[in-house]
Amino acid sequence: MQQTLSTTTVPYLNQNNIQVIRRNGCVTQLDISKIRSVVDWACAGVDANPITLEAGLTTKLQDGVTTREIQDNLINCALEMTSPEEPDWRYVAGRLHIWSLWKDTLVRRGYQYTSYARTVADKLQANQYDQRILIYSPEELEIAGSWINPDWDLDYDYAGVVLLTKRYLLPDELPQEALLTCALLLASVEAPQDRLVWAKRFYVAIATRKISLATPILANLRVPGGSLASCFITAMDDNLESIFDTIKDAARISKNGGGVGTNVSRVRATGSWVMGKANTSGGVLPWIKLLNDTAIAVNQGGRRAGAITISLDVWHLDVPEFLEMQTENGDQRRKAYDIFPQLVITDEFMRRVVAKEEWTLVDPYEVRTKLGIELAELWGEEFEQAYRLIEASSDTLKLYKKINARELFKTIMRSQLETGMPYLAFKDSINRANPNKHQGYIPGVNLCCESFSNVKPGGESHSCNLCSLNLANIEETEIPNICRTAVRLLDNTIEITQPPFEGSKTHNDKYRTIGVGAMGLADWLAKRCLSYNSLAQISGLFEDFGYYCTHASMELAKERGAYAAFEGSDWSQGKLIGSKPAAWYTEHAAHPERWCQLALDIQEHGIRNSHITAIAPNTSSSLVQGCSASVLPVYSRFFYDKWAKGTVPIAPPFIKEAFWYYQENKNLDQKRVVKAIAIIQQWIDTGISMELLFNLNQGVYYPEQPTATIKARDILETLVMAWQEGCKAVYYIRTVQRDSFEESREECSSCAN
C-alpha cells in the first residue's frame, strides 16, 4: 500500500496541533488536503509521483510553520529527487516556485492574472513601465490581456524560473505580464491597424519560448529610458581626447547592461614618443587599466560589474605585456584583472605560426609617422603588402621586436589554458565577409565574439540588438515564420531603443545591425537521433535559417527601405551571406535557385539590415528557455550547478527520450565541434560564439590508450583548424582539469540572450 501524507502514515503528526502562518500573516490550522492539491497540481503531466513528494515532506512539518517554508521544503524535496533517471522533478520544483510567486504577488497587490490593464496602470504610476505603452488604449490592453495563458508559466524547470524571477521580473510582476509588455512595446512602431496583430505574434513566440529575447531587451525594454542593444564595439585613436571619450562611452554602455569591445591597436606602444620625447609612452596598459576600473565602478546599479573586452592586433609591440596583464607577478599598476583580453589575428600571422617563421612586433605610432601607414585599419592583401614593407624598413625603425610566430602562439595558448583567454578574432576572415567594406573595416569582435561591424574612432560604434531562436521548441515547418518574426522584432528595437551615446546612434542609423541567433542545437540533434557528425543535416538546418532571416530583411526593405549605407555594399552587388557571390550557392546550397533569386531581389529592393544573424553564447538565457546553450554540445547530460542557495540540477529537455544522443562536450573531440561550427558559419553573416573545451584527463580522447592525455600539439592543431575552416573567432578556451569534472562556468555578462 502506498504511503500518503496523513496522520495515519505518520502517527506523531497531529494536524489538530499544528498552526500554519499564511503569507498574509494570518494563522490557520494545517490542512493536509491543500498541500496535497498543490503537490498533485505540480506533478500533473510530468513523470513524477506526487505520493513520493508528499512522503518526503511529512517529517518537516511543525507547529508555527509558514506556508512559504512548506513550499520551500517541497521544492527542496523535488530538487533532491531529480536525477538522470527522474529528471522531471526539476519541472515540479519549477512549478512550485511559480506557485509561490503567484501567491506572493496575490498577497502584495491583491490580484494575479485577472487584469493586465490594471497591471499596466499600477506600473506606470510606480514609474516602472515606459510611458510608451500608453500608445495602446485601455480597450486594446484588455484585448492583449486576454492572450495571457498562465499555463505557460509551468513550462520552466527550476533553474529557468529562478533566473527569470530574480534577473528579469520587476517587483510584483508576473512572467506573462513581463513578456506581454515587451511584445506590445516591440510592436508599438507598427502601423496602428497592425499593432495588435504583430504584438500577438511577438508575444506568442516569446511566451512559448520559440524566440528568446536578449537580456538588455527583456530587462530594459519595459522600464523608462532603457538601452536595448546587447553588443557594442568602440575604438581608441592615438590621442587623449579619443582615449577619454572611449572610456566615457564604455561607462555609458556598462550603465545600461551592454557588453563593450574596445580596440586599442592605434595607441602607441610602450617606449614610444610623446610630445617629441623618446621612451616616454606607457603604451596601451595604462589605458586598459582605466577601462578595467571603469568596468568595476559602473556596475549597472549594483546588479553586476560592467564587462569589457579589449582587443589588440597581434603585430602590436605591447602584445607580450598584454598577454601578461592578468598574471600575479610584475607591476600591479600595469595589471587588469577584470577585463577580457582579445587578440586580433591576421592570416599572415597564422601562416607564419604554421611555418614556424619569424614575426615582427612594431609600434603603430612610429610606423604611422615614419612610413605613413595606419596599420590598424588594414587587413588582407593590403595589410600583407604594408607589413612586408615595414619589415623591409626595419633599419629605419627603432621600436620593433622579432619573435618566432609559433612561440608567440604557444604563449597565447598557455594563457588560454590558464585563464580561458585571450579570445581570438581572425581579422581577415571577419573583414572578407564584411558587406560594408566600402564604408570602413571591422577592428575586432564584441564581448562574446559573435557580433561585429564597422567602427570608426570618434564616429561610429558598432551596436547590435540580439534575440535567439530556440531550436528545441521549433519544428522545421515553423522556421520561415519564426525567422520573419525575429527579424521584424529586432528591426523594431532599433526604432525604440535609446542609444547610450552618439556613436551608437550614428551606427544604428547607418547600418541597422541586428543579430538573430540560435540555441538548442544539441536538443534539435538529439530529438532526431543525430549527432555533431551529422554535418549535412546541420548545414540544411542553418541554410534554411540563414535564408529565411535574410529574405525577411529583404521583405522589410520593400516595406521600410534599405539601410542607409546599402548602396555600394556587397549586398548591392548581389553578394549574400559572408559576401559570397550567388555562384557559391549554386555549388554549396541544397536549394540554390532560391538564393539566386534572393540575390536579384536584394539588388532590386535592398535589404533592411546590414548584418542579420549572429549566434551568441546564451549561457544563462538558455536555462530560462529550457534548452542547451547556443549551438554547442551540452557540457554534460546531467550535472549540478552551484548557486547561492545550493546546487541546482541542470539537464537538457529531451534527456529521458534521447539520453545517448546528447554528446557530452567534456568528452568530445573539439575538432568535431570546430567542423560543425565552420559548417554553420557558412550560413551566418556575422559570427558565432565558439567555446572550445579540452579534457586533460587520461584516456578521454584515446580509449585505446587509457593513460594517454591530450597534448599541446593537439590544441594547437585545433586552433589552427578553426582558422583554416573559416571560423571567425574563438571565444573561451575551457578545460576539464585532471581528476576533476568541475567546469568553470563564467558567463557572458551581456549577451546572455
Give catalytic residues, as residue numbers.
446, 448, 450
- Residue for grid cell 531550436: 471
Q: What is the CA radius of gyration of the chain?
A: 27
Angle ∠(134,137,139) on CA atoms, nearest 5: 140
Where in 433-586 does DSSP place strands (E)?
A: 462-470, 514-519, 575-576, 580-581
Q: How far apart are CA 238 and CA 457, in angstroms?
A: 10
- Residue for grid cell 548545414: 539
Strands 307-313 and 340-345: parallel
Q: How far apart are CA 745 and CA 753, in angstroms?
A: 16
Phi first, then psi: give them for residue 431, nearest 5 degrees.
Answer: -80, -30
Q: How far apart are CA 627 and CA 597, in angstroms?
A: 35
The C-alpha cell that represents 279 in the structure block: 621612451
Number of helices and strands in the chain (H, E): 27, 19
Q: How far apart are CA 698 and CA 710, in angstroms?
A: 8
Q: How far apart are CA 403 and CA 399, in angstroms?
A: 13
52, 49, 8: which is closest to 32 by C-alpha? 8
Q: How far apart are CA 472 and CA 402, in angstroms?
A: 50
For residues 616 and 587, the answer to whether their CB atoms sit within 8 Å is no
Which amino acid belongs to residue 617?
A: P
Q: How far apart are CA 456 and CA 355, in angstroms?
A: 34
* C-alpha separations of 522 from 399, 684, 722 in Å: 49, 18, 20
Q: How far apart are CA 225 and CA 380, in angstroms?
A: 41
Q: How far apart are CA 155 and CA 634, in angstroms?
A: 20
Helices (H), 561-649: 582-588, 592-605, 621-625
Which amino acid belongs to residue 551?
A: H
3-state secondary structure of 664: strand
Q: How far apart are CA 551 and CA 182, in angstroms?
A: 25
Which amino acid belongs to residue 114?
A: T
- Residue for grid cell 581528476: 739
Instruction: Give the containing element (helix H, strand E) for 511.
Output: helix 502-511
3-state secondary structure of 448: coil
Phi first, then psi: give them for residue 519, nearest 5 degrees.
Answer: -140, 165
Strands 462-470 and 211-213: antiparallel
How remote is the C-alpha of 167 from its chain's centroid? 15
For residues 346 and 383, the answer to whether their CB atoms sit within 8 Å is yes
HEC letters along 363-391: CHHHHHHHHCCCHHHCCHHHHHHHHHHHH
The C-alpha cell that represents 91 in the structure block: 519541472
Burial of 133 (0-12, 13-18, 19+ CB in 10 A): middle
3-state secondary structure of 735: strand
570, 575, 600, 595: which is closest to 585 by C-alpha? 595
**Residues whose CB is less than 8 angstroms from the CB of residue 728 and which lie 6 or more positions away in sequence, other chains included:** 425, 426, 429, 430, 433, 445, 449, 681, 687, 688
